[in-house]
Amino acid sequence: MLDTEPDLSDFSQIDFTSGAVAAVSGGSDSTALLLLLKDHLDRTAPATKLLAVTIDHALRPGSAAEAEAVAKLCAERGIAHRTLVWSARKPSAGLPAAAREARYRLLAEAAQAEGIGLILTGHTADDQAETVLMRHTRDEGRGLVEMAGRGLAGMAPATLYDWRIWIVRPLLGVRRGALREVLLRRHVGWAEDPTNADKRFERPRIRAALAEDNGAKRGDDAMAMAARAATEREQLGHRAAALIGSFASRPSPGLVRLDPGFAASGDAPTAVYALRILLAAIGGVSFLPDQARSEALFNRMGAGPLCATLSRTVVDARRAGIFLHRESRDLPAVPAAGTVLWDGRRRITLGDTSGVFLIAPLGAAGAARRAVAEDGTPPSLVRAALAAEPALWREHECLGFPGDSGAPAAIAACPAVAPFARFLPSFDLAPANAVAGLIGAPPVPALPSSRHSAG
């Protein structure tokens, strides 16, 4: 059975050196999180900077009043508070996902403005059970590796946002009812979001099902399923990272070579998983390619020469190795101002606001002048990979890659691990770090755990 009382040991494992942002909507879960966190910090590290942030999505008439109630609660307890409003135009479809993205973006901006590197959310065991059951419903009919290895793991205890700030969920093992008991004992009220009961959305439908007679057992079963799947996902990730470390190399920018032995490693499910991660990273896409199509591609890789495309990545298998590079279609040209995530593959920063510069692909002509093949890498593949790499342009003049003598000094480019660039669950640290090392991206920031700070 799940815990029936809040366990503060999760707080004790977190390193609050850089302070903490608590995401507080005014609902019971996040309100309890704030009070429990404040108690913990008052006892153990009273000088820690604590900021409560409420995101007003401006989707309901009462949302502003709920934010004001949180502000009042924080003022009574001496907690700094900010309300941030999602003022952008709301999409007609995919509203929950868009609201989630806006929420984390605004929370990260608030944390960064205060020099804080940690966000805490009040997700509970009930939220985890709902998430797992939602994914189970969607994943019915998929392969066993896909179901057990990824989707059914649910929410991770920690997720890295934008490769720079950790989002931690310390209450994933605590039931919502236990948190409400804490609030009732303290005579603290909370807001009830009516959208939580709106069955037009998937989560409220699952929540209603869990409130039925057998709901408690279904919730416990879902949590047990999540725990097993999380372990399997982490183990699969470690094996995939080992394969990437053993068989993958980068002979030139934008080009990854897999040793032919990769297709005969003896662990096909792990090799397919590693291949899916690499395809997404090289292609600059956020989601791993389809399991079945990836399996079919992997089987063809072991059967002889081929040239195929999946997830915007060209797979060219020949005697010299299996080569992966970005296909030449649909490469973007974007203004080079501020920081942009170009093609999902590069974070590029240019300290220029004149609007005269573009980040666009180098192109075939530029690649032909620059391509240098080493270690037996086919020159045609080096040229194809370089042609899809980002370069700095002014009108029709190519100024070269960031760092070139002709490029402005104030430009910087950093590879991004596309499938994990926005959200990296702690389940996937091993393969994310393996790909980061392969393509020259920065390593994953350390988990915000006291174990790390203690060395």
Q: What CATH number does residue 131 fall under? A: 3.40.50.620
pLDDT at 416: 96
pLDDT at 1: 39
Q: How many whole angstroms separate alpha carbon 41 and alpha carbon 43?
A: 5
Tokens of 429: 């640290």
pLDDT at 453: 36
* 146 assigned to some structural domain: yes
- What would the pLDDT profile of 277-335 be if each residue is shown by its tens digit? 999 999 999 999 999 999 999 999 988 899 999 999 999 999 889 999 999 999 999 88
Query: How many C-beta neighbours within 10 Å does residue 295 have?
Result: 18
Q: How many whole angstroms separate alpha carbon 342 and alpha carbon 330?
A: 12
Tell me the pLDDT band of 366, cut-offs 50, 70 and 90: confident
**Overall average pLDDT of the 390-396 stretch:** 86
| 267 vs 7: which has the higher pLDDT | 267
* H or E stretch covering 202: helix 202-210
* 2 assigned to some structural domain: no
Tell me the pLDDT band of 402, cut-offs 50, 70 and 90: low
The residues, ordered by sequence, that sit 6+ positions from 446 with a Cβ below 8 Å of its Cβ are 452
Contact 284, 303 (CB under 8 A): no
Give me the half-sphere count of Cα atoms (radius 13 Å) on the Cβ side of residue 160. Answer: 20
Closest by CA position to 144, among listed 279, 273, 329, 304:
273
Name the residue range of residue 37's domain. 9-231
- What would the pLDDT profile of 76-107 be if each residue is shown by its tens digit? 999 999 999 998 888 888 888 899 999 999 99
* 399 assigned to some structural domain: yes
Tell me the pLDDT band of 71, cut-offs 50, 70 and 90: very high
- Check whether residue 209 and residue 339 sit in a common domain: no
String of DSSP letters for 334-346: EE-SEEEEETTTE
Domain end residue (candidates: 179, 211, 231): 231
Q: How many whole angstroms separate alpha carbon 105 and alpha carbon 95?
A: 15
- Check whether residue 29 and residue 155 sit in a common domain: yes
> What is the number of structural domains in the chain?
2
> Angle at which helices 291-301 and 268-283 pack, to 10 degrees?
110
**Overall average pLDDT of the 206-217 stretch:** 69
Domain end residue (candidates: 231, 260, 276): 231
- Check whether residue 19 and residue 145 sit in a common domain: yes
The β-bridge relationship of strands 80-85 and 158-161 is unpaired
pLDDT at 161: 97
pLDDT at 408: 59
Share of the chain above pLDDT 90, in %: 62
Closest by CA position to 416, among listed 275, 282, 311:
282
Q: What is the overall mean pLDDT for the chain?
A: 87
Residue 53 β-bridge partners: 23, 82
Interior/surface letters 306-330, b for 16+ CB within 10 angstroms, e for the rest: eeeebbbbbbbbeeebbbbbbbeee
Residue 205 has pLDDT above 60, yes or no: yes
pLDDT at 138: 62
| 455 vs 427: which has the higher pLDDT | 427
The β-bridge relationship of strands 357-361 and 334-335 is antiparallel
pLDDT at 199: 59
Residue 148 has pLDDT above 60, yes or no: no
| 3 vs 182: which has the higher pLDDT | 182
For residues 21, 22, 25 and 31, what is the CA-based torsion angle, rounded to 10 degrees? -160
Low-confidence winner among 12-21, 158-167, 402-411 (lowest mean pLDDT): 402-411
- Check whether residue 225 and residue 342 sit in a common domain: no
pLDDT at 399: 81
Residue 252 has pLDDT above 70, yes or no: yes
pLDDT at 7: 55
* 351 assigned to some structural domain: yes
**Overall average pLDDT of the 178-187 stretch:** 94
The residues, ordered by sequence, that sit 6+ positions from 390 with a Cβ below 8 Å of its Cβ are 342, 343, 345, 346, 348, 359, 360, 361, 362, 401, 413
- Check whether residue 34 and residue 173 sit in a common domain: yes
* 122 assigned to some structural domain: yes
Residue 208 has pLDDT above 90, yes or no: no
pLDDT at 198: 59
pLDDT at 318: 92
Query: How many C-beta neighbours within 10 Å does residue 215 have?
Result: 16
Residue 3 has pLDDT above 50, yes or no: no
Contact 42, 35 (CB under 8 A): no
**Overall average pLDDT of the 264-282 stretch:** 96
| 442 vs 9: which has the higher pLDDT | 442
Domain end residue (candidates: 231, 251, 281): 231
pLDDT at 455: 32
- Check whether residue 209 and residue 355 sit in a common domain: no
* 240 assigned to some structural domain: no
- Check whether residue 339 and residue 226 sit in a common domain: no
Q: Give, in order, the Cα–Cα distances in Å from 376 to each of 201, 254, 257, 387.
A: 55, 17, 11, 19
Give me the half-sphere count of Cα atoms (radius 13 Å) on the Cβ side of residue 450. Answer: 9
| 197 vs 147: which has the higher pLDDT | 197
- What would the pLDDT profile of 35-48 be if each residue is shown by its tens digit? 999 999 999 999 99
Low-confidence winner among 92-101, 192-201, 426-435, 446-455 (lowest mean pLDDT): 446-455
Q: How many whole angstroms separate alpha carbon 341 and alpha carbon 186?
A: 46
pLDDT at 373: 67
